[in-house]
Chain A
Amino acid sequence: MATTFLATLKSLVRNRALLFWPLAFPIIMATMFGAMFANLQSGYAFDPFQLGVVRDANYDAAPGLDDLLDELSSPSADTQYVTVTACDDAADAEARVDSSEIEGYLTVDADGTPQLHLSRGSQGDDKATVMSSILDSYVRTVAELKVVAAEKPELLASPSVAQATIEAFQTDAVSTTRLKLTRTDPDPSARYFYALLAMTAGMVAMIGAFAVQRTRANASPVGARASIAGISRGKVLMATVLASWLCGFACLVVAFAYMRIVVRVDFGGREGLCLVALAVSSLLAMAAGALVGTTPGVKTGIFSAISCVLSIFTGLYGSASQRLADNVAASFPMLSHLNPLWQIAHSFFSLLYYDSLEPFAQSCGALLAMTVALVAVATLRMRRQRYEHL
């Protein structure tokens, strides 16, 4: 059994094409992610909205609007929300929108209500939403003061009283406090790396499939030789699966070490438990590989295709796939829980964000349960294999 184990291990390590996926793929992609997401955290900060302003008599008459825009466009403020470009009229502003010089423009109608005109590219854009919210806030303040003027005009009678009234509506006496519920501050880029590790684990299954396929007596000369060796088929398979597991686990550890040491991905300081997750993941991969390896006619390349499809539900393919993954996890949690790559990515996620190890244990438990199910089916298939000719 030890001889079979060593021989299988040597043959796997020498197969460069086989090891390209689980070794080169995560290293190339992690390097790229590391370069791409270097400033993703700061990327969520506001960029100033490029606003054109039609400065006519209506605009000048709107109380406090010009002061508000001056304040928001001040480069010395903590956040510069807007850059203001003066426009002669609406036609001039539209021409500037067409030429992409500005992202939208502001006009004020005869009754003093501001109107925001946005470029088509601003649809659903965060910056445009911020701009619209700021102007909503201005319109609301005007409405509040109109109510006060109608119900208690004495509160706006003199400048000092009016100032006190306005201050009551702009008070700092109300506030919100942000709760910190997770172990570490969430890092938007971590999700990509965890999904990448999960996809790599899916690819590792190819190693198991390749190794088990070779042991079939009619699949290769090595298989034919092994079938007449003086040890039982069970021992051959056990040694093969163990050797491929070790090889797959080693590939995952190399990818993990590269992400942790070179790309400096945050795993929440629980690297030891990450190795447990990798060991369980590679075990599941080997079980899946063994199942495919016992199925004649199925190519090992099927794992790359399946991993590509399942990775959409871990959010590997950018923000759109992350929204899809979140929606599926929220609406059909069972579908996500049945996705082994989702469970693998979630196990790393649990280690980063939760104090309790319960979510991590749940993910590992689910992966082990899947492993047992796959091993049971693979064992049944292996036992029933008969060869008419060798």
Chain B
Amino acid sequence: MSTFRTSLRIVWGHRLYVLIYLVFISMLGVLAVGGASSSPDAEETGFIAAKPTVAVIDRDGSDISRGITEYVCAQGTSVDVADDERSIQDAAADDRASYVLVIPAGYGDALMDAAATGDEAPSLETVVSYQSSAGTLMDLSVRGYLQSAYGFAATVASSQADVVRLASDAASEKVSTTIVATEAEPLSSWLLYYFQFATYPIFASVTMVVAVLMNSLNERDVRMRSLAAPITSARRSLQTFLACCVMGLVAWAWICLVGFALNDGAAAIATAPVQVALMCGSLLAYAFVSVTAGFLVGQLAVSEMAANAISNVFGMALSFLGGGWVQLALMPAAVQQAARFFPSYWCTAAANDAFLLTEVRGASVAGVLGEIGVVCLFAVAIFAVSLVVGRSRMRA
């Protein structure tokens, strides 16, 4: 097993790549998906609506403007924006606030007067985010509150305080919303987002290190020395490939351990073992795709710098095409079709379907296993190509 041990020593010699591409980027992935998903506790209690970040600039200070401010802040996460053009511009450009509402001076009185005479109230100024529909939805919601305030002012309320009380009471009436109970226990969406993000650190780190390992072993002097050793070519190749697989397994285990350690993995395994196994299985298959991709890059005998570039470019491209970073539904139909020809798509689809598994039955589990199988087939195909490339290089 000296080839195996030597291969592992070479991998260990390049641990900086593992540290940066796997450890750092996966930890940053933890931070990134932390803000993108709802907490597990929240999921157990019911539906959590997407909440926008909101800011209100109240230049009026009346009861009605305070009522509107309270309503808007209760609908979203409130952020402070100073009352000057540059600050509002910054908030809009940086998307710090998905919805900014400016209430002009005298608005409360103007609304009461307009309701009494049936005229139009002055318009409120808004800045609505371009990043999501949450800001647009917030605008509709504010219009609903204003209509309610106008209606009460025109009918039963006699003062601004009455209008705010009645409009706020009516606005607090909400439809009861629940999540449909499923036979299988639900997993935290955090885990799904984290696994989808992890396709990049796995691919970049494993492909990079395996390519560097293969390059080192294929150096002329090293190769001549190994060919002279009393070991068959098949055994040597097998030991090298085992070392590559160890790298893949280490990357996969790291991603899974971090995911479970930070998200009550014991509970997830206890309540939804099949879904957890399938999600981990999809990532394991992807780790093997990364191993074979690294094997192929190594066979091409490119420099360490080029291997670095190839593993990163392909790692990023695959993660985008897999839909783990940006929803595939937002992309053109042609891209969605093209994505099906890449392993990351099937890995993400398998993780997503395993997460959404509502009942653990043969047919539903088989569907996810089929997707994992497609990922494995990609690994086999890339491995076969790398063998052909290796053989043709040896003959050349």
Contact = CB atoms under 8 A, between A and B. Distances in A.
Partners in one complex: yes
Interface in A85-118: 94, 97-98, 100, 104, 113-118
Interface string A351-369: 0011000000000000000
Interface in B83-112: 85, 88-89, 92-96, 101-102, 111
A331 B303 CA distance: 41
Interface residues of B, number: 113
A326 B123 contact: no
Contacts of B327: 319
Nearest to A93: B180
B389 interface: no
A147 B174 CA distance: 16
A305 B17 contact: yes
A228 to B, nearest CB: 29
Contact of B133 (A46, A170, A299): A46
A205 interface: no
Interface string A293-316: 000000111101110110010000
Interface of B: 16-17, 20-21, 24-25, 28-29, 31-38, 43, 47-50, 79, 85, 88-89, 92-96, 101-102, 111, 114-115, 118-121, 123-128, 130-134, 137, 139-144, 146-152, 154-156, 166, 169-171, 173-180, 182, 186, 189, 193, 197, 200, 204, 302-306, 308-309, 312-313, 316-317, 319-321, 324-327, 329-332, 334-335, 356, 358-359
A128 interface: yes
26 contacts: A32-B320, A36-B321, A41-B130, A104-B180, A115-B176, A115-B177, A116-B176, A122-B47, A123-B43, A123-B179, A124-B37, A137-B144, A139-B173, A144-B166, A169-B150, A170-B147, A174-B120, A176-B126, A178-B126, A179-B102, A302-B16, A323-B32, A324-B34, A326-B96, A330-B79, A349-B93
A350 to B, nearest CB: 8
Nearest to A313: B28
A36 B79 CA distance: 32
B25 A309 contact: yes
A32 B173 CA distance: 47
B308 A123 contact: no
A305 B332 CA distance: 31
Contact of A320 (B33, B47, B156): B33
B49 A129 contact: yes
A117 B329 contact: no
Nearest to B51: A129
Given A175-B123, A186-B92, A317-B319, A169 B148 contact: yes
B154 A168 contact: yes
Chain A residues touching B, majority SS? helix
B178 A182 contact: no
B331 A39 contact: yes
Most buried by B among A100, A113, A304, A354: A304
Contacts of A132: 47, 49, 174-175, 177
A133 interface: yes
A276 interface: no
Nearest to A46: B133
A318 B312 contact: no
A125 B324 CA distance: 16
Interface in A39-57: 39-41, 43-47
A46 to B, nearest CB: 6
Nearest to B304: A301
Contact of B317 (A28, A176, A354): A28
B334 A35 contact: yes
A319 B25 contact: no
B312 A144 contact: no
Contacts of A98: 180, 182, 358-359
Contacts of B38: 123-124
Contacts of B121: 173-175
Contacts of A252: none
B94 A329 contact: yes
B203 to A, nearest CB: 12
Nearest to A90: B180
A321 B316 CA distance: 13
- Which 9 A-B pairs rank lowest in CB-CB distance, beginning with the nearest? A318-B325, A169-B151, A43-B330, A174-B146, A135-B175, A305-B20, A186-B130, A324-B32, A143-B173
Given A20-B306, A170-B147, A147 B48 contact: no
Contacts of B303: 17
Given A123-B43, A324-B35, A94 B180 contact: yes
Interface string A269-295: 000000000000000000000000000
